[in-house]
Amino acid sequence: MSDSDQTYDFKSFWLTNLPTRNIFLIILIVYIVLSIFSIIRVDVTNLTDVFTISVDLLKIVGQNNQMVFNGHIYLILTSIFVHSDIIHFISNCLFLFIFGLRAEERFFSWQYYTIFIVSGLLGGILSFVFGPYSISVGASGGIFGLLGADLILAYEENKRKSLWAHLGAGVIFLAITGGVNVNSLAHGIGLLSGIVLPYFFLKRRKTEGRGKSDNSLNLTQKNRKA
């Protein structure tokens, strides 16, 4: 069975050490913990307050450029897993699954994480153009990186339907995540990173690794028969 024929059921998703699942769990845990702290810190007056992270808390855990300038460089990385509210969280997780599960079929775990993290980091670095008082959060830069990688895969495999499907999903994701206070630069650099990074892997992807494994297995079987 080829990698493209893989199916994902609920049980295997949680039991298998897959990058998409791991990133989702980190994002989920971070969102739940921050929501609890946010509820404690603010006066909850409606349901929206329950699912929205307070601005004061985002200034501490998000990519607060002023704090980064003061030496808290780690915020560029950790802010990737922080989301401001339930809509932000759900939309990013939805497209993480759409683009992430596809990328898992062709990239090794280390390649997948590289695309996601590097795309997210470059988006964070580019966010400095907004000045020292800007605050950025969210995994959209990394997710756009996965989208870019998926587009490259579809193009290389000459799968027009997949290419157009991912382009359409990307437009929808951009529309959902777009807005006045959205870091569009992070989206753009994330997409570009996802398109460029796969070429640095020198074709070392799951298809090559699987082919070698299959050849070794066939050779072993022949030796056993002999």
* Per-residue pLDDT at 187: 83
Task: Using pLDDT thresholds of 50, 70 and 90, give the confidence band for residue 210.
Answer: very low
CA dist list (Å): 32 to 13, 20, 50, 83? 21, 18, 11, 10
**Mean pLDDT over all residues of the chain?**
80
Query: Which residues belong to the active site?
Result: 140, 187
* Choice among 53-62, 112-121, 167-176, 204-213 with the minimum mean pLDDT: 204-213
> How many whole angstroms separate alpha carbon 169 and alpha carbon 82?
23
Domains of the chain plus CATH, in order, are 20-211 (1.20.1540.10)
Residue 183 confidence (pLDDT) above 60 = yes
The DSSP secondary structure of the chain, one letter per residue, reads --GGG----HHHHHHS--HHHHHHHHHHHHHHHHHHHHHHHS---SHHHHTB--HHHHHHHSEEHHHHHTT-TTHHHHGGG--SBHHHHHHHHHHHHHHHHHHHTTS-HHHHHHHHHHHHHHHHHHGGGG-TT-EE--SHHHHHHHHHHHHHHHHHTT-HHHHHHHHHHHHHHHHHH-STTS-HHHHHHHHHHHHHGGGGGTT-SHHHHHHHHHHHHHHHHHHHH-
CA trace torsion 69, 182, 76, 168 (10° rounding):
-150
Contact 145, 119 (CB under 8 A): yes
Determine the pLDDT at residue 30: 96
CB count within 10 Å of CB 82 equals 25
- Residue 64 phi/psi, 5-degree rounding, is -80, 105
Range picked from 87-96, 124-133, 167-176, 202-211 for highest mean pLDDT: 87-96
pLDDT of 208 higher than 80: no
pLDDT over 90, % of the chain: 40
Tokens of 39: 């509820």
- Tell how far CA 172 is from the center of its chain: 16
Q: What is the tens place of the pLDDT at every residue in 71-85?
A: 999 999 999 999 999
- Taking residues 145-155, report their average pLDDT: 89
* Segment 90-103 mean pLDDT: 92
Read off the pTM: 0.80
Mean pLDDT, residues 87-101: 92
Instruction: Enter the tokens of residue 70.
Output: 């003061």
User: In sequence order, which residues have a C-beta less than 8 Å from that of residue 153 and are 6 or more positions away?
Assistant: 102, 103, 106, 162, 198
> Which tokens hold the place of 22?
């791991």
pLDDT tens-place string over residues 121-148: 999 898 888 788 888 899 999 999 999 9
Convert the pLDDT of each residue in 11-68 to its tens digit: 666 667 689 999 999 999 999 999 999 998 887 778 888 888 998 999 999 999 999 9
